[in-house]
Amino acid sequence: MKARLVLASALACLMSLPAFAAGADSVRPADIAASKLTPKDFPRWREVAAGVYLYEGLHAPDRKGVTFNTVSLIVITGEGVVVVDGQGDVAQTQLMIDHIKKLTPQPIKYVVIASDHGDHTGGNAAFKAAFPDVVFMSSPASQKTLAKNANPPTQTVADKHSIRLGKTEVQVLNLGRAHTGGDLVAYLPDSKILFMSEVYLRGLFPAMRSAYPSEWLATIAKAQAMDVSLYVPGHGFIDDAATMKRDLEESRKAIAYVIDEAKRLHAAGVACGTAAECPAAEQANWGPYGDWTARDSQAPLALAKVYQEIEGKLP
């Protein structure tokens, strides 16, 4: 009963945050400056259910100096802690560990690598140093990607794996390829919270450096079909539950828009061999997504990736 009251209170708090009108222009930008925040305001965290925390560190600034957040999920139980996605370097991950130690004496038993990109794994050595018995878990694809890292995943999830610590269950799900090709999500059945990692990039131009564009759409659709109270992104701010659900759909629409625009340019014979050599980027019309965070740095990468998909050249 206490857990239910905490969850109700946490979700009520989220619901009290300001909502925005529908549409691409209404999505809260991932850029911290747009929310009048500075690096000094981070790290930040909030409890969204009993023992469930969303932790926000910072991504390194892009080439234009734009900084956005990186979100981690922390689940604290009486028999250990589960972290889903670390931070981008050892110092930031250590800050998160220090925070966890203030909340509980329990050790971190599992680190789920939902995204194998460096901004989520660069600090994993801090977990191993603090908790030598920690288990790193990933998809089989991410295990291959991280095989040469100092702390590679030793347990993989091809479809679904349930981590049970006491009465707490964390379902680690492989819904399909999306942003990295090794994407996982984490579902908490008690609170119906779905941490989507980089499958959900809120208020951030679709980043496709290692993506599978069309499969990404299908993966989001699977998440949208689940019984979820709160969708949590790997980047972007967390507002009320209804807004997070609505903006997940807007994120899906943004990816679909990028795919369609790339198909138009490809059919017109406009070249985009690589992100560095992509005349198509100069001719692209990004419509309602032209002002989304990191568009300048991510648009050429996205075009090049969709061209690869069109030409059957995805790895």
Per residue of the chain (315 residues), give pLDDT as tens.
444 434 444 444 443 343 334 689 899 999 999 999 999 999 999 999 999 999 999 999 988 889 999 999 999 999 999 999 999 999 999 999 999 999 999 999 999 999 999 999 999 999 999 999 999 999 999 999 999 999 999 999 999 999 999 999 999 999 999 999 999 999 999 999 999 999 999 999 999 999 999 999 999 999 999 999 999 999 999 999 999 999 999 999 999 999 999 999 999 999 999 999 999 999 999 999 999 999 999 999 999 999 999 999 998
Where are the chain's structural domains?
Answer: 2-310
Q: What is the pLDDT of residue 64?
A: 84
Enumerate residues 6+ apart whose C-beta is below 8 A from 88. 57, 58, 59, 60, 70, 118, 119, 120, 122, 123
Report field, pTM of the whole predicted structure over 0.75? yes
CATH number corresponding to 2-310: 3.60.15.10
Residues 225, 201: contact at Cβ < 8 Å? no
